[in-house]
Structure 1
Amino acid sequence: MSEQVKQVAIEEFQQAKVLARDAVRSAAYLYPLKGIVYFFTHRSLWKPLAEKLVPTLSLGLGVTLFMFTVTYVPQAAVLTLVNGPLAIVTTILLVLSEASTIFNVLSKNFLIDDALIDTFDGTLVSRGCTQLVSTERQIKSSSDPIGRLGKIAKKPFAKFTPQAIIRYFLYLPLNMIPIVGTVLFVILQGRRFGPNAHARYFQLKQMKKQEKEEYIDRRKAAYTSFGVPAVLLELVPIAGIFFSFTNTVGAALWAADLEKGQSSTESESTTAPNLRNQAELAKKAE
């Protein structure tokens, strides 16, 4: 039995090491930061946020204050039993996570879903991926990326499902494990967040369910590495609304780079046969 346990532990460690290596190589964790820089240096992308700023900030402030007023003390009392002095920090992170989840459910379902779609599509247009965006919405003539966005065919962002809420609360007990538990909680949240950030990209690519699942599975390490810093940014009280938009920009920048990489690969795959054909024709001519 002990040998079997040891073997399983070794296999899990090796798998974790491979995933960590793939995550680092993907550099996907940089895109939330790139999204911040790109958003603040491209004023044309500010319009969707500006239109929703006041009601969304009010919602975020209200949810955060309510959660700290009602839930901080009882949760801190429970976590103190297992975390000791660290309970102050772990409880803050826990309440912020809870407030962020509630805020995301409300805002993305009722306030900013259209604005996030426009931000994602506008970023793709600004990066020269107009043809990709045109598969799901009209593109108008304008020098402003947001101004070029016409009528949208259908919305890609799925409503927050009961399964997602249940899964979230199943993860909550992890915060009772000092430090390690909180880290695992954020990682698990990030693993879910990553693929969700590309929901619009999958729709623009017109991927079917199985194709999308296979695509995500091949890049699960990259999506987790994108999701972890993105989740941490959106945990920031009130400012999380800004980071919802910058994360969307970062996801769109990543999608644009994936598209360019794919186009480059396709170009190389078609160029090579052409070169071979030219070489054969030259031999025949000789």
Structure 2
Amino acid sequence: MSSRFVESVQSKAHEVAKEDLGRAKVLISDAARSRAYLYPFKGIAYFLTHRALWKPLLSQLLPTLALSVGVVTSMFFFTYLPQLAILVFFNGPLAVFTTVLLILNESSTLVNILSRNFLLQEALLDTFDGTLVSKNATNIVSEGRQLKPGGDPIQRLGKILKSPFDRFSPKALVRYAMYLPLNFIPVVGTVVFILLQGRSRGNAVHDRYFQLKRWSSAEKSKWLAEHTGPYSAFGTVATLLEMVPFASILFSFTNTVGAALWAADIEAKETEMTQGTAPGLREAAQKAE
């Protein structure tokens, strides 16, 4: 009886593992085909070569940089040794490095919460909308704000007609705290933690785009569910970039530019995501329009 039970459990475990592996392969394939992981880097290149998009960043550079320096310095000074003392029991000598990664991730999260809620919300919104304008996607931007004639993309941005990005939600903070113990698992746990953060980050990068498209919560959820791979890939790369000490503010803006470039390509149907790989989503997009 016991041997049959063990065999049954092993069979179920094998079946679940096979299903999960299959899903992982599909997600990786979707991410690779969409090339979404390239958009954060495209955002860097586009931002650096379009000086007009620098204006929102420059307007908030000093206060946000001061915030970043303060948070990162304080986190390393007050929490490095306590967290190292805990992680060393789980990660051994590798704790020296995993603790650094953990603190950088924690610092990035804190800076994002504080800056996006109190300093950068309007600046990031202008950067996203300005990038769409520079890509001639004025028809969709006009759904969310007034546009002025002439001038560079930022100068053309007028009064906001729709509320900007959602603020950092308590649910996201709770989810972050729930996943934090994964860092106790040597190396693999830290990687999984960053991937989960990347998935959460990816799900929010097109909030403004969905808002401009007037998509309902159901349409937005369906789109994200059927494009989990691409959005997780974008979010993971964006998360890693924003973990770089003191440069996180710059990458917050370049990631916003990358997300807008991606939205412009989706709008122009110039990505694999809109070229027959997911007909159900294309129908959802058409309904949303």
Q: TM-score, normalised by structure 1?
A: 0.91
Identify the range of structure 1 (132-141 vs 15-24) with the bigger mean alpha-carbon deviation: 15-24
Larger radius of gyration: 1
Residue 78 of structure 2 aligns to which amino acid in structure 1?
V
Matched, 1:54 2:74: no
Larger mean Cα displacement after TM superposition, 104-113 or 151-160: 151-160
Bigger drift between 111-120 and 136-145 goes to: 136-145
Q: Find the counterpart in structure 1 of residue 226 from structure 2.
A: 218
Q: Does 1:169 align with 2:177?
A: yes
**1:149-198 CA-partner distances (Å, limit 9, x unpaired):** 00011323112121111110111111111111111011100101112111
1:115 and 2:123 correspond: yes
From 20, 24, 38, give the equivalent of 1:16: 24
Equivalent residue letter for 1:52 = Q
Give the corresponding residue for 2:216. Answer: 208
Aligned match for 1:72, one of 72, 80, 104: 80
Cα displacement (A) at 1:262? 7.2
Distance 2:116 2:163 in 1: 12
SS of the aligned residue for 1:78 comes to: helix
Judge conservation of contact 1:156–1:199 (CA < 8 Å) in 2.
Answer: no
* In structure 2, C-alpha distance between the alignment counterparts of 1:131 and 1:162, rounded to whole Å: 34
CA distance in 1, matches of 2:125, 2:160: 9
- The aligned length equals 266
Question: Could you list the runs of 5+ residues in structure 2 that have no partner in the other structure?
Answer: 1-8, 276-289
Distance 1:198 1:29 in 2: 14
Query: Is 1:233 matched up with 2:236?
Result: no
* Conservation of the 8 A alpha-carbon contact between 1:124 and 1:256: yes
SS in 2 for 1:197: coil
Q: What's 1:134 paired with?
A: 142
| Pick aligned residue for 1:43 from 46, 51, 64 | 51
C-alpha separation between the residues in 1 aligned to 2:241 and 2:99? 17
| Counterpart Cα distance in 2 of 1:226 and 1:105 | 19
Equivalent in the alignment of 2:159: 151
The CA RMSD over aligned residues, in Å, is: 1.5
* Distance in 1, Cα, partners of 2:44 & 2:133: 17
Distance (Å, rounded) in 1 between the aligned partners of 2:212 and 2:248: 26
Moved over 3 A (4+): 262-265
Between the aligned residues of both structures, percent identity stands at 56
Residue of 236, 245, 255 corresponding to 1:247? 255
CA distance in 1, matches of 2:85, 2:159: 51
What is the deviation of 1:216? 0.8
Do the aligned residues in 1 keep the contact of 2:198 with 2:236 (CA within 8 Å)?
yes
1:146 corresponds to which letter in structure 2? I
Quote the Cα distance in structure 2 between the aligned partners of 1:163 and 1:225: 22
